A and B are shown apart, each in its own frame.
Chain A
Amino acid sequence: MRRTWPKHKQAVEGLQMRRAVVFFAVLALAGCTTQGQHGAGGPAGRRTGIKLGMVTDVGGLGDKSFNDSANRGLQIAKAKDGAIVTVLQSRSVTDYEPNLSALATEGNALIFAIGFLMHDSLDSVAPRFPRTHFAIVDSIVDRPNVTSITFKEEESSFLAGALAGLVTKKGAVGFLGGIQSPLIEKFQAGFTAGVKSTDPAARVIVKYTGSFEDVGAGKEYATLLFRDADIVYAAAGKCGLGVIDEVKSLPRGDYVIGVDSDQDGLAPGKVLTSALKRVDNAVVQLADDAAHGHPPGGHIALGLKQGGVALTDFAYTKNVLPPGAVATLAAYRSAIIGGRFSVPSTLKELSAFNPPHLSARH
């Protein structure tokens, strides 16, 4: 399912807006570091469903990427099941624990902790609220009342890399990460392996911005990367928006590959594809489980096979793909799903990686 963003004003319910205004104003004045977006599950008086909470990581809502994707999932749950949704944003890592505790105290049945940065905070909050169920995305917290959801980002990144290898004319592609961490390394390893599979001679230039928020830095890194490369894959949160802004002013033939959410429409024709991470689907699924019984608990790893990660379908860029590219990608995809080779998820595995030979390769 594809959803596009409302480019401009979204309809906001009057009540919701007034509450948000009061809430924000109080926080801004008090110098508090969290901000919230409270939403009622429908017109007042209607029977409302399960109470769902979510704590964003420091990237926050509006990253048009990871946190937004999770929020979309919650909004779907709200529309579908009449869930009451509360989103708390974190301004710094010290906000995680208070935010998680606040939502648990408010009586939410299921609370989503979005991002691996929240691992330690959730690990200490979860035992204090044994009757509340938590879910963490991108990390594994081993507690009975926590469901851990991870994604095989290396698999979608591999397909993105394979596509970049097929499309590049300069024989060089760029990878721009945010803060260096095992998570972002999965993107880097998978992407590099993909490039090496379709264009073994291509160079992959790797840079890290050291931030997930600094849009300007994303643009500056992009300026440098596009000097040598003609395709840049950005796994750097809001920094990726700077990369997309940069590519708008470049001549045809330079492309960005988006990440997490569908970013293809942010610069139509210039965003080759986006490596989707369907946090929204996972959130909807889990909310559904919670509403109709019990969330599963334990660890769930979602890859291409489970529909947890995917590439977008080239809505704006079909005409620039070389002939056979879509078929080649499909062949790699089914090979990964069929377990015919495994995609490296760390730099160590990457150095031992041998590009697979597929019959569908041209």
Chain B
Amino acid sequence: MNSALAIATTVAGIAILKSTPLIYAALGGVISENAGVVNIGLEGMMAGGAFAAVLASYYTHSLPAAVIAGAFVGGALALVLAYFAIALRANQIIVGMALNVFAVGAAALLLTVLFGQPGTSPEVRSFSSIASSSGPGIAATLHYALVWMALGLVLCAHVILYRTRVGLHLRAVGEQPRAAAVAGIDVMKIRYVATVLGGVLAGLGGAYLSVGEVDLYSDGMVAGRGFIALAAVIFGKWTPLGSFGACLFFGLFSSLQIALQRATVPAQLLEMLPYALTIVALAGFIGRSRPPASDGVPYEP
């Protein structure tokens, strides 16, 4: 019994580790999509954030600087998406994909130029390294600072989206931009801010991956998490709390997959389940999952 409880604790712990980067990225997706901009570039923004965080930690040895750098680069990449998607009214999916390829390629280039070793960065000061160098207690809290911050941000996003005037404006812009414009809302400005904010959040998710969970950046380390976050946005019906739940659910399944894996059972089966469920959700079997009416549609005043 005791060992069953211990296993459950471990599984829950891994589930939280697994969920956290997804929560950041999905929250970013929720905010930009509620304003009407689809962000396929989450994956690249995570990669950019992960790399920037390692870079900042390498040069400054400061974790706050690392986290800020991750957020900044995520936001900067999102600004590019915003410019093309909002000002130039380009196809948002194509710009997002281009950003994914660009961010991963740029990180690979900079790894070679700055560190002279392609593929993987040197190890840097990270949240886990401060946990192992100081005692338990405070250290454990610090170690999970980025996890706590994710929870806080989910609540903030929920309150802002559904309990404030700004949130109402943001959702109006995503649903009926023309009506919102008539009501005196600056559609372009809100879309810009929401998209950049989404990128900042994805960048934080990337920073968590590189300096929060491990202590280096490595090519391919985002490993599709940006796309999983997009699935979580849909599964969570474009709401902060719903996506948060979806991320926890995905994390729990990956974690169970790790724990229950046996040589005889194909590991991929459990791992596939969350995505199969996302398709089910999209097909409308688990209640209606409807995107904001003008999600992905460029606004032409």
* Assembly CA distance A10 to B116 (angstroms): 5
Which residues of chain B have C-beta atoms less than 8 A from A37's C-beta?
Answer: 112, 118
Which residues of chain A have C-beta atoms less than 8 A from B14's C-beta?
Answer: 220, 223-224
Interface size on A, residues (CB 8 A): 53
| CB-contact partner of B221 in A33, A58, A207, A216, under 8 A | A216
Is B106's CB under 8 angstroms from A223's CB?
no
* A68, closest chain B residue (CB): B119
Query: Which residues of B in the span 75-133 have a Cβ within 8 Å of any Cβ on A?
Result: 98, 101-102, 105-106, 108-109, 111-120, 122-123, 128-129, 131-132
Is B119's CB under 8 angstroms from A61's CB?
yes
Is A238's CB under 8 angstroms from B258's CB?
no
* B100, closest chain A residue (CB): A31
Which residues of chain A have C-beta atoms less than 8 A from B254's C-beta?
Answer: 220
* A64, closest chain B residue (CB): B120
> Which of A153-161, A164-172, A240-248 lies at the binding interface?
A240-248
Is B105's CB under 8 angstroms from A215's CB?
no
Interface string of A27-59 (1 = CB under 8 A from B): 111010101010000000000000000000010
Which residues of chain A have C-beta atoms less than 8 A from B263's C-beta?
Answer: 206, 347
Which residues of chain B have C-beta atoms less than 8 A from A352's C-beta?
Answer: none
Does A24 belong to the interface (CB within 8 Å)?
Answer: yes
* Assembly CA distance A337 to B215 (angstroms): 39
Assess A215 versus B267: contact at CB under 8 Å? Given A221-B258, A241-B120: no
Which residues of chain B have C-beta atoms less than 8 A from A266's C-beta?
Answer: 123
Assess A213 versus B220: contact at CB under 8 Å? Given A60-B119, A89-B118, A245-B215: yes
Is B105's CB under 8 angstroms from A28's CB?
yes
Which residues of chain A have C-beta atoms less than 8 A from B118's C-beta?
Answer: 35, 37, 60-62, 89
Which residues of chain B have C-beta atoms less than 8 A from A245's C-beta?
Answer: 123, 128, 214-216
Assess A28 versus B109: contact at CB under 8 Å? Given A208-B267, A219-B213: yes
A346 CB, min distance to chain B CBs, angstroms: 13
Is B13's CB under 8 angstroms from A248's CB?
no
Does B5 belong to the interface (CB within 8 Å)?
Answer: no
Is B255's CB under 8 angstroms from A220's CB?
yes
| CB-contact partner of B259 in A61, A210, A224, under 8 A | A224
| CB-contact partner of A215 in B18, B108, B129, B218, under 8 A | B218
A38 CB, min distance to chain B CBs, angstroms: 11
Assess A227 versus B6: contact at CB under 8 Å? Given A208-B261, A238-B120, A238-B221: yes
Is A249's CB under 8 angstroms from B131's CB?
yes
| CB-contact partner of B116 in A12, A63, A248, under 8 A | A12
Does B295 belong to the interface (CB within 8 Å)?
Answer: no
Query: Which residues of B in the span 252-285 have a Cβ within 8 Å of any Cβ on A?
Result: 254-255, 258-259, 261, 263, 267-268, 271
Which residues of chain B have C-beta atoms less than 8 A from A207's C-beta?
Answer: 258, 261
Assess A20 versus B105: contact at CB under 8 Å? Given A216-B209, A241-B216: no
Does A11 belong to the interface (CB within 8 Å)?
Answer: yes
B156 CB, min distance to chain A CBs, angstroms: 25
Is B216's CB under 8 angstroms from A224's CB?
no
Does A321 belong to the interface (CB within 8 Å)?
Answer: no
Interface size on B, residues (CB 8 A): 51
* Assembly CA distance A60 to B102 (angstroms): 18
Which residues of chain B have C-beta atoms less than 8 A from A24's C-beta?
Answer: 105, 108-109, 112-113
Is A9's CB under 8 angstroms from B116's CB?
yes
* Assembly CA distance A219 to B215 (angstroms): 11
Is A238's CB under 8 angstroms from B220's CB?
yes
Is A60's CB under 8 angstroms from B116's CB?
no
Which residues of chain B have C-beta atoms less than 8 A from A63's C-beta?
Answer: 119-120
Which residues of chain B have C-beta atoms less than 8 A from A213's C-beta?
Answer: 218-221, 223
| CB-contact partner of A220 in B18, B102, B216, B268, under 8 A | B18
Is B109's CB under 8 angstroms from A216's CB?
no
Which residues of chain B have C-beta atoms less than 8 A from A221's C-beta?
Answer: 258
Which residues of chain B have C-beta atoms less than 8 A from A288's C-beta?
Answer: none
Assess A210 versus B116: contact at CB under 8 Å? Given A7-B122, A248-B128, A248-B129: no
* Assembly CA distance A9 to B223 (angstroms): 26
Interface string of A195-218 (1 = CB under 8 A from B): 000000000001110110111110
Is B218's CB under 8 angstroms from A238's CB?
yes
B102 CB, min distance to chain A CBs, angstroms: 6
Assess A241 versus B112: contact at CB under 8 Å? Given A35-B105, A37-B118: no
* Assembly CA distance A177 to B171 (angstroms): 46
Which residues of chain A have C-beta atoms less than 8 A from B98's C-beta?
Answer: 31
Interface string of A56-83 (1 = CB under 8 A from B): 0010111110011000000000000000
Which residues of chain B have C-beta atoms less than 8 A from A357's C-beta?
Answer: none
Is B106's CB under 8 angstroms from A28's CB?
yes
Is B115's CB under 8 angstroms from A8's CB?
yes
* Assembly CA distance A5 to B109 (angstroms): 20
* Apart from A214-B220, A241-B120: 7 A-B pairs, beta carbons within 8 A: A28-B102, A28-B108, A60-B118, A62-B120, A238-B218, A242-B213, A245-B215
> Please, could you name 14 A-B residue pairs with CB atoms under 8 Å apart, sorted by A?
A6-B117, A8-B115, A9-B114, A17-B113, A21-B109, A24-B113, A31-B98, A63-B120, A211-B223, A213-B223, A220-B255, A221-B258, A245-B123, A249-B129
> Interface residues, chain B, CB within 8 Å of chain A?
6-7, 10-11, 13-14, 17-18, 21, 98, 101-102, 105-106, 108-109, 111-120, 122-123, 128-129, 131-132, 209, 213-216, 218-221, 223, 254-255, 258-259, 261, 263, 267-268, 271
